[in-house]
Amino acid sequence: MTRISRPATREIIEDFAKEVRNRRLDTVKPSTWVINFRTDLQDGIERKVYRVPIEVLRFRKDNGRISSDVLDYEYRYGVLREDTQETQRILSEFLYQKDPEKTNALSRSIVHGGQREPAIVTCDGFLINGNRRRMVLERLHGEHPETEQFAYMACVILPGAEDEGGPPTLKEIEKLENRYQLQSDGKSEYYGFDRALSIKRKIDLGLSLEEQLRDDPRYAKADKKEIERAIKQAETDYLEPLKCVDRYLRQFGREGQYRTVSTGMSDHEGRWQALADYSRMHSRYLANPKRRLEYGIDETEVGTIEESAFDIIRLRTIPDMPKVHVIMRDLPKYCKTAGGKKEIMKIASEVDPLLPEGELYDDQGEPLDVATVEAKWQSRNKEAIIHRVKKASKVHESNRERETPMQLLDAAYKKLTHDDMDIASIAATDLKDARELASSIKVRADEIESEVFHLIKAKKKLLGE
């Protein structure tokens, strides 16, 4: 018989909670605020806002914005303890490096306009909403120690063990963070990779994907069909690519080392987008028996093609070729010809995912850092990868059948009216590009229609009609 258990709650550090109680000030305007916690918003419950010294406010390692950094660090160096100064320093640096440009913009905003809304913290001072503001204020206070406004944060403090309703459960904390992330107003959006890891962690804590999406104003009142479509889209955009990330890391013996995939929005060479595009391509083609048959790909070849694809993604750049994420989209075309597929699959046989053991250490026998290992692997394998990808591309181009204008028009129309042309399924990250493409298609279609019209007129004039 299954016993009834209480929802898991995070352990409150009493010394920290006492310090927060003793040092908070009742001098904030407005003095109360309605937050999206439990049923506060629906019931109009106002909670007290306090001025709290920034030194008693601490970062949580479970902040979704830095999920990949924390997981990677803990895999390499061990568990981060939030109650230590060193961990707080590390988390602060993760937050800054995640998106320096937007962090600097937030800094300027705080200097000129102050805080727009209070942060939300646990009773012992751990931030749920307001982590970046706390990090920015700490930096500003270091630069301007005489300016008191940078030494405090306006905060709503969540209930403790002795307060009405009791402290939040772990699930409530995740839900609260999710609500504010999805309902952000000008805040730095989570990078797609960290968003994916955050979604997965919330699912593991019992917060279903549907519950998470319902916190998004777009889906709060969605009907069954709409929410099912949103769930499918979130799986396509985040959860399925995350599975590819884990397979990618496993191939190179780097399980859990998420920062080798990408460090954030400022990491222009990050591999997340390429892996996300590979994931969509994998679902549409490699995992689809009908498409595999159409493209002449045997099920037994899928694993080798994936290994080659991951090698290409790890290299990051193919000179005189499209960006790697575009190559991932085009991979089925390269594999559609026997020659092109053969070249792609040769990559897996010619490239060793791991460097020889002796090349992983310096002259003193110390392990090389990740960046150095990466550079050595790329230097060792780039010639083979570049040669095979370019050869596959040439094979594809040389085998393209020369088509008449009518055949091209007919093919274009069939593609635009294809059953798979479900606009609602376009990834959120691709919507801007999709609109630009649609606009370009419209312009070109109008040009073609005009050219055909004038040709018809010219022909009639020639025939004297």
415 has pLDDT over 70: yes
| pLDDT at 269 (0 to 100) | 63
Cα separation of 277 and 330, whole Å? 10
Listed in sequence order, the DSSP H helices in 235-369 are 240-251, 272-281, 289-295, 302-315, 324-336, 338-350
Q: Mapping DSSP to helix (H, G, I), strand (E, B) and coil, where does residue 128 land?
A: strand
Q: Determine the Cα–Cα distance for residues 205 and 197; give it in Å rounded to an integer.
A: 12
Give the Cα-Cα-Cα angle 69, 73, 78 (nearest 5 degrees). Answer: 150
Alpha-carbon span 431 to 448, nearest angstrom: 25
Q: Which of 94-98, 171-175, 215-219 has the lowest mean pLDDT?
A: 215-219
Residue 279 tokens, joined: 């994931």
Query: Distance between CA atoms of 149 and 143, rounded to whole angstroms?
Result: 13
**pLDDT score of 339 more than 90:** yes
Overall residue count recorded for the chain in this entry: 465
Whether the pLDDT of residue 268 is over 70: the answer is no
pLDDT at residue 47 is higher than 90: yes
Confidence of residue 28 (pLDDT cuts 50, 70, 90): confident
For residue 312, give the amino acid letter.
I
Residue 325 to residues 241, 311, 382, 415, Cα–Cα distance (Å): 13, 13, 17, 22
Residue 170 — pLDDT band, cuts 50, 70, 90? very high
Mean pLDDT value of segment 246-268: 88
For residue 157, CA distances in Å to 42, 128, 441 come to 19, 10, 53
Predicted confidence (pLDDT) per residue in 200-250, tens digit: 999 999 999 999 999 988 898 999 999 999 999 999 999 999 999 999 999
> What sign results for the dihedral spanned by CA atoms 307, 310, 316, 318?
positive
The per-residue pLDDT for 182 is: 81
Give mean pLDDT, residues 329-343.
95
The predicted pLDDT at position 189 comes to 60
Q: What is the pLDDT of residue 397?
A: 86
189 vs 216, which has greater pLDDT? 216
Q: Give per-residue pLDDT as tens, 299-317.
A: 999 999 999 999 999 999 9
Of 155-169, 174-188, 242-256, 329-343, least confident by mean pLDDT is 174-188
| DSSP structure string for 13-36 | -HHHHHHHHHH-BS--SS-EE--S
Q: Which residues lie below 8 Å from residue 314, measured CB to CB, with a gap of 6+?
A: 248, 252, 271, 374, 377, 378
**What is the edge-to-edge ordering of all strands in the sheet holding 152-157?**
32-33, 47-53, 152-157, 119-121, 127-129
Q: Are 385 and 318 in contact (CB under 8 A)?
A: yes
Task: Give the mean pLDDT of the chain.
Answer: 91
Instruction: Give the separation between CA 352 and CA 380, rounded to whole angstroms.
Output: 9
**pLDDT at residue 238, as a whole number:** 96
The pTM score is 0.77
Is pLDDT at 121 greater than 80 in this prediction? yes
Q: Which two tokens stand for residue 40?
A: 């506060």
Average pLDDT of the segment spanning 420-435: 83
Residue 198 CA to residue 313 CA, distance in Å, equals 23
Asked if the model's pLDDT at residue 376 lies above 70, the reply is: yes
Provide the 10 A C-beta neighbour count for residue 437.
Answer: 11
- Residue 146 in contact with residue 84, Cβ under 8 Å? no
What backbone torsions phi and psi does residue 279 show, to the nearest 5 degrees? -60, -45
Indicate the pLDDT class of residue 187, thresholds 50, 70 and 90. very low
Per-residue pLDDT at 266? 65
pLDDT at position 144 is 94
**CA neighbor of 127 nearest in space, from 87, 149, 156, 98:** 156
| DSSP one-letter string for 133-165 | HHHHHHHHHHH-TT-GGGSEEEEEEPP-TTSTT
pLDDT at 402: 53
Residue 188 in this model has a pLDDT that exceeds 60: no
Taking every pair of Cα atoms in the chain, the longest distance, rounded to a whole number of angstroms, is 98
How many Cα neighbours within 13 Å face the side chain of 26?
Answer: 4
End-to-end CA distance of the chain: 90
CB 119 within 8 A of CB 187: no
